[in-house]
């Protein structure tokens, strides 16, 4: 008990980043030892912990001679319910205490459904009838605890496999849960409402069955909406009658004018289907109407088509009187079916709404419980990871507690991780608190000053002393660590100096792979750093790490020696997210574009935050502090789960390397080169750190870093940025409906991205995204070209065929190369079907000749890429502009949903 008090007190008032719970955990492990060596279920552990704490409080109370106090564990976490039931015809009634209330998850959609099933067991009717031989029982809460815990059973034993399995089904739960319907005092009202809900659901089942008969009509394996069936019958009856058999007057021999390969000529049925699916339906022309074009023969075959050939099957004989009666009946039946369907849907919606609002009256919302904590498990039944979401009532936000990391969260993130059905994560325990029990969350105030107590001030005197002593020990540990680090640094510098002097005449280097970030600098520079370090260590300096980057960079040490005048000029630097600085730079030595890049911003901020170390220990120690801060920041960015519009790989090459698991030496050399950038010479501190970085770079031996591999990684990153630029320009043109301009950029983006992704899943961008817009761009161009061809105007027809011959046809093989891309293959078929549908239509002779020349190119099934143009030239975007355009483009896509994505 004492260790748990200390543990929770440290969680409230410690200055450490995290608290080590090992001592308390070891005690609990000894207390909860079981006979077998199997890992205990987390719910079982929670049960034992509550029981153990209850017993501990009970023992403490028995030690005193005073009036027996109430057990706080019982008062906070335990409630009571009344079990009322019938067992083999005999009624029974008893009261039971509960801590965690168990709920089954499988087969239920939300928490209320789980509770309803848990509160009722067996045949409900037997509870209210006499002389019944059936068994059943109801549970009614008689007393609810301030903290109500629901244990969600998400594991079940698979008898076939002989092992437990986790249930990943989605289960929704509200932020505010009203428990009035489960209270014993409301049992009569609840029973009436349950009977009404049961009646409504029975009615709902009947209505849904009736609706299904209308929506899935037929006696065979295929069913269709009855409204559509009547419409099809009406269309068939209204078609122009055919006086003969559909096979009459058709010559199956070879057509005049030579033979044509069968695969090049669609069948008549295929022509009719393609034409009916691609072209808008038009009503039959009225008698005497003049056609817009003269009847001409088909392309390819040169055979005449009967002008009265119907586009659809039609009845052979039907009189006007029969048609009139049939049309009247079909119209009337269709209207009746539509009205019946609409009435059924409206009644179903009303019943759903009535069931949802059944418990919304004022008398049933008097016992509100607010969600306070959610415990989440990710993994399978035999292994996984746990974390928790806890609501901060003072800050009014959710916090995520994941091992030693405590971060701000949101309800949306909680829903994604806790409801289930997404990945393998889901909630296994819910903790609700009584929304009317304000003592659970209210602040404590100082009786003398009236100010709110926070942190360590809220603890009782003995725990406050314990935490303060631990904080003092922690501060002493920090001082000892700093002193040890300073001493080690001095010893390292001195040892390095002696070693380099002794080995200056050596011709060969020692074997091994040194960590060059941990080595001291060159001989001459190390000597200078040593002298400067000895001078600065004795100074007392304040910790500036909590200041803003702007304040840190603009501040200068009090005892900074005056520098001799140099041929430098004052430059005002504006750095996004950091501020404006007046710096000195040699003329022509400052690059404003480089200073605005995200990686340079990060380096400047890291140098600013390492100010205190720099002042105490000199440039080399400041360099180590800055580079470690920057590397930690980049690792965090690489691990962050971001929205599609935020891609930190574009911000920094090291993030790209980390995500793709580049060798450590390559990452280190890249960081050193950035810290050694000449643009960092705008003030003395940055200039000295830059000199350290350059010294480290010169120490790298050729055998330590594979320069060929180093260049390959940077070449991949350049290709990634190039792919991003292609993608941005392609998507921007697509959104402007400049599909010709968009196509080449999207194709280059796709090809580059495919090459990058072949090396790793994080080397490029979303494959599906680029594939979708490349495919859509070709479909849009095909649609434009087809509309121009249908216009019949020579100029527009020629323009449409130019689009097809120069932009669509040459790139179709790209969609057919990978047979796994089913959507691409279907898109190609759609484009070909659109043009093949013209074979069954009447057209001018000049259109027929052009279609005859064009179709063989379109129908060429080879995957050889022909006429691929050189990649378009790309503009050079600065990093910040590239990131801004990428974010803007991706956001615009998210606001414009695309079919198929």
Residue 173, pLDDT > 80, answer: yes
The predicted model gives 137-147 an average pLDDT of 92
Q: What is the pLDDT of residues 755-807, one digit of tens each?
A: 999 898 899 999 889 999 999 999 999 999 999 998 888 899 999 999 998 88
Q: What is the pLDDT of residues 519-546, one digit of tens each?
A: 444 444 444 444 443 343 334 334 444 4
Residue 767: what are its φ and ψ, rounded to 5°?
-60, -45
Contact (Cβ atoms closer than 8 angstroms) between residue 748 and residue 719: no
Residue 266, pLDDT > 50, answer: no
CB atoms within 10 A of CB 704: 16
CB atoms within 10 A of CB 448: 6
Residue 439, pLDDT > 70, answer: yes
Counting residues of the chain whose pLDDT is more than 90, the rounded percentage is: 25
Where is mean pLDDT largest: 22-31, 262-271, 379-388, 612-621? 612-621
Residue 268 is predicted with a pLDDT of 41
Residues 71 and 56: their CA atoms lie apart, in Å, by 10
Among the residue ranges 152-161, 293-302, 817-826, the one predicted with the least confidence is 293-302
Residue 550 in tokens:
């702007």
Residues 852 and 651: their CA atoms lie apart, in Å, by 53
Helices (H), 585-683: 592-595, 598-609, 611-617, 619-639, 648-651, 653-659, 664-675
**Considering Cα of 245, then 246, then 247, then 250, what sign does the dihedral take?**
positive
Instruction: Please report which confidence band the pLDDT of residue 143 belongs to, taking 50, 70 and 90 as the band edges.
Output: very high
Residue 288 is predicted with a pLDDT of 41
Among the residue ranges 229-243, 494-508, 743-757, 781-795, the one predicted with the least confidence is 494-508
Q: What is the pLDDT of residues 347-406, one digit of tens each?
A: 999 999 999 899 988 889 999 999 999 999 877 776 667 889 999 988 899 998 887 778
Angle at 544 between CA 540 and CA 547, to 5 degrees: 160
Angle at 298 between CA 292 and CA 302, to 5 degrees: 135
CA distances to 66, 73, 808 from 70, rounded to whole Å, are 12, 9, 82
Residue 164: what are its φ and ψ, rounded to 5°?
-75, 150
Higher pLDDT, 545 or 99: 99
Instruction: Please report which confidence band the pLDDT of residue 482 belongs to, taking 50, 70 and 90 as the band edges.
Output: confident
CB atoms within 10 A of CB 575: 19
Residue 499 is predicted with a pLDDT of 65
Residues 146 and 151: their CA atoms lie apart, in Å, by 16
Residues 814 and 770: their CA atoms lie apart, in Å, by 13
Residue 129 is predicted with a pLDDT of 52
What mean pLDDT value characterizes the chain? Answer: 77
Closest CA to 138 of 195, 198, 93: 93
Residue 876 is predicted with a pLDDT of 84
Residue 246 is predicted with a pLDDT of 60
Residue 579, pLDDT > 70, answer: no
Residue 839 in tokens:
């074979």
Residue 492, pLDDT > 90, answer: no
Residue 311 is predicted with a pLDDT of 61
Q: What is the pLDDT of residues 622-647, one digit of tens each?
A: 889 989 998 999 999 999 888 888 88
The predicted model gives 24-30 an average pLDDT of 79
Residue 257 is predicted with a pLDDT of 44
């Amino acid at each position: 008990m004492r260790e748990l008090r200390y543990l929770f007190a440290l969680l409230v008032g410690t200055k450490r980043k995290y608290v080590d719970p090992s001592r308390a955990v070891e005690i609990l492990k000894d207390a909860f030892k079981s006979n077998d060596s199997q890992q205990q279920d987390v719910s079982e552990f929670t049960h034992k912990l509550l029981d153990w704490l209850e017993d501990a409080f009970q023992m403490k109370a028995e030690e005193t001679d005073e009036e027996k106090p109430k057990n706080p564990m019982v008062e906070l976490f335990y409630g009571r319910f009344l079990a009322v039931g019938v067992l083999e015809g005999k009624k029974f009634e008893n009261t039971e205490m509960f801590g965690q209330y168990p709920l089954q998850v499988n087969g239920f959609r939300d928490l209320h459904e789980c509770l309803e099933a848990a509160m009722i067991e067996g045949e409900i009717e037997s509870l209210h009838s006499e002389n019944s031989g059936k068994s059943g029982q109801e549970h009614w809460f008689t007393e609810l605890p301030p903290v109500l815990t629901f244990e969600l059973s998400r594991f079940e034993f698979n008898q076939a496999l002989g092992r437990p399995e986790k249930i990943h089904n989605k289960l929704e739960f509200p932020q505010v849960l009203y428990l009035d319907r489960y209270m014993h005092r409301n049992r009569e009202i609840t029973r009436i409402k349950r009977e009404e809900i049961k009646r409504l659901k029975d009615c709902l089942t009947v209505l849904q069955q009736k609706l299904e008969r209308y929506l899935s009509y037929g006696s065979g394996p295929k069913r269709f909406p009855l409204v559509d069936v009547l419409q099809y019958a009406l269309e068939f009856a209204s078609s122009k009658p055919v006086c003969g058999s559909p096979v009459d007057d058709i010559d199956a021999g070879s057509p005049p004018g030579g033979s044509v390969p069968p695969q090049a000529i669609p069948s008549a049925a295929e022509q009719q289907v393609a034409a009916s699916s691609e072209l808008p339906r038009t009503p039959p022309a009225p008698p005497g109407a003049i056609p817009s074009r003269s009847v001409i023969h088909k392309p390819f075959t040169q055979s005449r088509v009967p002008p009265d050939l119907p586009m659809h099957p039609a009845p052979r004989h039907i009189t006007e009187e029969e048609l009139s009666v049939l049309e009247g009946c079909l119209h009337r039946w269709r209207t009746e079916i539509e009205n019946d369907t609409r009435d059924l849907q409206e009644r179903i919606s009303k019943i759903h709404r009535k069931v949802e609002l059944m418990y919304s009256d004022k008398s049933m919302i008097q016992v509100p419980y607010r969600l306070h904590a959610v415990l989440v498990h990710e993994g399978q039944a035999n292994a996984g990871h746990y974390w928790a979401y806890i609501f901060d009532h003072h800050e009014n936000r959710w916090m995520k507690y994941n091992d030693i990391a405590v971060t701000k969260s949101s309800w949306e993130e909680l829903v994604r991780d806790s409801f289930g059905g997404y990945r393998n994560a889901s909630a296994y325990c819910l903790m609700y608190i009584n929304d009317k029990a304000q003592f659970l969350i209210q602040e404590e105030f100082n009786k003398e000053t009236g100010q709110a107590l926070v942190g360590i001030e809220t603890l009782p005197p003995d725990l406050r002393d314990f935490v303060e002593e631990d904080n003092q020990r922690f501060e002493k540990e920090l001082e000892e660590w700093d002193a040890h680090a300073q001493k080690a640094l001095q010893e390292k510098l001195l040892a390095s100096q002696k070693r380099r002097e002794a080995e200056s005449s050596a011709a060969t280097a020692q074997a091994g792979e040194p960590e060059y970030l941990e080595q001291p600098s060159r001989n001459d520079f190390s000597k200078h750093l040593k002298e400067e370090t000895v001078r600065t260590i004795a100074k007392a300096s304040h910790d500036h790490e909590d200041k803003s980057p702007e304040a840190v960079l603009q501040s200068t040490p009090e005892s900074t020696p005056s520098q001799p005048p140099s041929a430098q000029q004052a430059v005002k630097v504006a750095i996004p997210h950091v501020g404006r600085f007046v710096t000195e730079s040699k003329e022509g030595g400052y690059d404003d574009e480089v200073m605005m890049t995200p990686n340079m911003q990060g380096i400047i901020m890291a140098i600013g935050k390492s100010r205190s170390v720099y002042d105490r220990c000199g440039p080399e120690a400041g360099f180590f502090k800055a580079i470690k801060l920057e590397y930690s920041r980049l690792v965090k960015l690489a691990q962050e789960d971001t929205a599609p519009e935020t891609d930190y790989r574009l911000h920094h090459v090291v993030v790209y390397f980390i995500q793709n698991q580049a060798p450590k030496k390559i990452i280190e050399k890249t960081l050193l080169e950035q810290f050694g950038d000449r643009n960092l010479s705008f003030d003395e501190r940055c200039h000295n750190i830059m000199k350290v970085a350059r010294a480290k770079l010169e120490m790298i031996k050729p055998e330590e870093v594979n320069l060929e591999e180093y260049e390959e990684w940077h070449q991949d990153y350049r290709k990634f940025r190039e792919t991003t630029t292609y993608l941005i320009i392609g998507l921007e043109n697509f959104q402007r409906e400049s599909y010709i301009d968009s196509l080449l950029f999207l194709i280059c983006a796709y090809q580059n991205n495919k090459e990058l992704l072949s090396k790793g899943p994080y080397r490029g961008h979303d494959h599906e995204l680029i594939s979708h817009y490349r495919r859509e761009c070709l479909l849009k161009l095909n649609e434009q070209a087809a509309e121009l061809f249908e216009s019949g105007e020579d100029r527009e027809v020629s323009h449409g065929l130019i689009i097809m011959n120069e932009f669509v046809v040459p790139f179709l093989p790209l969609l057919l190369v990978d047979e796994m891309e089913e959507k691409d293959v279907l898109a190609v078929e759609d484009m070909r079907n659109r043009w093949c549908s013209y074979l069954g239509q009447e057209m001018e002779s000049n259109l027929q000749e052009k279609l005859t020349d064009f179709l063989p190119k379109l129908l060429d099934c080879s995957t050889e890429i022909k006429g691929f143009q050189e990649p378009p030239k790309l503009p050079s975007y600065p990093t910040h502009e590239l990131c801004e355009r990428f974010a803007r483009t991706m956001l615009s896509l998210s606001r414009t949903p695309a079919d198929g994505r």
